[in-house]
Amino acid sequence: MKIILLGAPGAGKGTQASRIAGKYKLLHISTGDIFRANIKNGTEIGKIAKSYTDSGRLVPDEVTCEIVKDRLSWKDAGQGYMLDGFPRNLFQAQQLDKFADIDICLNIDVDESLLMDRICGRRMCACGESYHVSTLQGSETCAKCGGKLYQRPDDVPETVKTRLSTYKSQTAPLIEYYKSQGKLYSVTSGEGSPDDVFVQICAILDKFLND
């Protein structure tokens, strides 16, 4: 099964991706995670990506497409995968169609008014867990592993504004793109709890697998 996860920043793609990966034994490929790892390790790709991720703009397509194309050519991707954060514009989607055969595009739809608060209030742990300040009661450590929580540098209001407008103008048109390919499945109550959203996603994926 080859899946694309689509949704605005703050829609909960990352949270759902780890659940999907666990239940369906799917390889999770997140371009955002790949860029953050490269930035942390000071690689050439990281040097290019930093100014874009810091300001909330898209990393140039040549760089991004090449990374994904390469990653999908590894042996472990042969059994299927879930793309999180790619494609993010029409050009990337068209490129992807040249080197991959996508089964499903899962679109997590969340009311726009919630996104700013969700992202700016988000706190991360190095273990992959994320929290919202409203539920932390002042705690700064991860309930799962005890790690120290931090805020992603691009989770600040100015950058989030740019990310949201980039999503609207460049990424949201992909909903129509995948609809016209007959591959779009929308999760319409993305405002619900992570558990509720996951139930909807499983219903879609189970149906696909059983058909």
Residues that bind Zn ion (CB under 5 A): 125, 127, 129, 142, 144-145, 147
Among 86, 131, 178, 185, binds ligand ADP (CB under 6 A): 86
Per-residue CA distances from 101 to 19, 104, 105, 199 (Å): 23, 10, 11, 25
Shorter beta-carbon distance to ligand ADP: residue 28 or 137:
28
Return the one option of ligand ADP, Zn ion, none that residue 190 interacts with (CB less than 5 to 8 A, by type).
Answer: none
Q: How far apart are CA 147 and CA 145, in angstroms?
A: 5
Cβ–Cβ < 8 Å for 167, 52? no
CA–CA distance, 136 with 133 (Å, rounded to integer)? 5
Give 182: exposed, middle or buried? Use CB within 10 Å, 0-12, 13-18, 19+: exposed
Q: Which of 13, 36, 118, 123 is catalytic?
A: 13
Annotation marks residue 13 as catalytic? yes
Catalytic residue among 2, 36, 123, 163: 163
Q: Does 52 bind ligand ADP (CB under 6 A)?
A: yes
Quote the distance between the C-alpha of residue 86 and its chain's center: 8
The answer to whether 88 contacts ligand ADP (rule: CB under 6 A) is yes
Q: Which residues are catalytic?
A: 13, 88, 122, 152, 163
Query: What are the residues binding ligand ADP (CB under 6 A)?
Result: 9, 31-32, 35, 52-53, 56-59, 64, 85-86, 88, 92, 154, 163
